[in-house]
Amino acid sequence: MKEYKGIPVSTGIAAGTVFFAAAERSVCRTEKTEDTKKETRRLITALNKAAAELTELYRKTLREAGTSAADIFLIHKMMLQDSDFYSRMRTLITEDRLSAETAVGKAAEEFSRELAESGSEYIAERGADVSDVADRIIRILRGKTTAPAPVGTEKIILVANEITPSLTLMFSGLQLLGLVSGKGSATSHTAILARSLGIPAVIVNGVTFDSSVNGQTCIVDGVSGGVYFSPDSQKLKAVRSAEKSSAEKASAEKSSAEKSSEKERELFEILPPPETATQSGKKITLYANAGSLEDVDAAVRCGAEGIGLFRSEFSYLGRTVLPTEAELTAVYQAAAKKLGTRKFIIRTLDIGADKKAACIPMQNEPNPALGIRALRLCFANPQLFTTQLRAVLRAGVTGNVAVMFPMICSLSEIHRAKQFLKAAAADLKNENVPHAERIETGIMIETPAAAVISDVLAAEVDFFSIGTNDLTQYTLAVDRQNADIAEYCDPHHESVLRLIELTAKHAREHGIWCGICGELGADTSLTERFIKAGISELSAAPSALHALRKKIRSLP
- 480 marked ligand binding residue: yes
Helix, strand, or coil here: 96? coil
What is the 8-class DSSP label of residue 37? H
Q: How far apart are CA 14 and CA 194, in angstroms?
A: 13
Least Å distance between CB 307 and ligand PEP? Answer: 13
517 is catalytic: yes
**DSSP β-ladder status, 217-221 and 226-229:** antiparallel
**Which of Mg ion, ligand PEP, none does residue 201 bind to, with CB < 5 to 8 Å depending on kind?**
none
- 41 marked ligand binding residue: no
Contact of 348 with 385, CB cutoff 8 Å: yes
Q: From the candidates 189, 435, 506, 546, which is the catalytic residue?
A: 189
Contact of 357 with 323, CB cutoff 8 Å: no
Buried b (16+ CB within 10 A) or exposed e, 48-68: ebbeebbeebbebbbeebbbb
Q: How far apart are CA 65 and CA 473, in angstroms?
A: 28
- 90 marked ligand binding residue: no
**Which of ligand PEP, Mg ion, none does residue 517 bind to, with CB < 5 to 8 Å depending on kind?**
ligand PEP
**Choice between 183 and 189, CB closer to ligand PEP:** 189
Q: Read off the amino acid at residue 496.
A: V
- 347 marked ligand binding residue: yes
- 469 marked ligand binding residue: yes
**Choice between 79 and 403, CB closer to Mg ion:** 403
Q: How far apart are CA 138 and CA 524, in angstroms?
A: 46
Least Å distance between CB 489 and ligand PEP? Answer: 12
**Which of ligand PEP, Mg ion, none does residue 90 bind to, with CB < 5 to 8 Å depending on kind?**
none
Q: From the candidates 218, 378, 489, 517, which is the catalytic residue?
A: 517
Least Å distance between CB 165 and ligand PEP? Answer: 14
**Choice between 93 and 331, CB closer to ligand PEP:** 331
- For the chain, what's the residue count? 556
- 311 marked ligand binding residue: yes
Buried b (16+ CB within 10 A) or exposed e, 524-555: eebbeebbebbbbbbbbbbbbbbbbbebbeeb
**Which of ligand PEP, Mg ion, none does residue 537 bind to, with CB < 5 to 8 Å depending on kind?**
none
Distances from the Cα of 548 to the Cαs of 47, 221, 537, in angstroms?
48, 19, 11
**Which of ligand PEP, Mg ion, none does residue 311 bind to, with CB < 5 to 8 Å depending on kind?**
ligand PEP
Comparing every residue's Cβ against Mg ion, the nearest one is 470
Closest CA to 125 of 171, 70, 83, 162: 162
Least Å distance between CB 425 and Mg ion? Answer: 26
R_g (Cα) of the chain, nearest Å:
24
**Choice between 184 and 467, CB closer to Mg ion:** 467
**Choice between 470 and 523, CB closer to Mg ion:** 470
Question: Which residues sit at the interface with Mg ion, rule CB under 5 A?
Answer: 446, 467, 470
**Choice between 54 and 407, CB closer to Mg ion:** 407
**Which of Mg ion, ligand PEP, none does residue 468 bind to, with CB < 5 to 8 Å depending on kind?**
ligand PEP
Question: Which residues sit at the interface with ligand PEP, rule CB under 6 A?
Answer: 187, 309, 311, 350, 446, 467-470, 517-518
Binding-site sequence positions for Mg(2+): 446, 470
Catalytic residue set: 189, 517
Binding-site sequence positions: 311, 347, 446, 469-470, 480
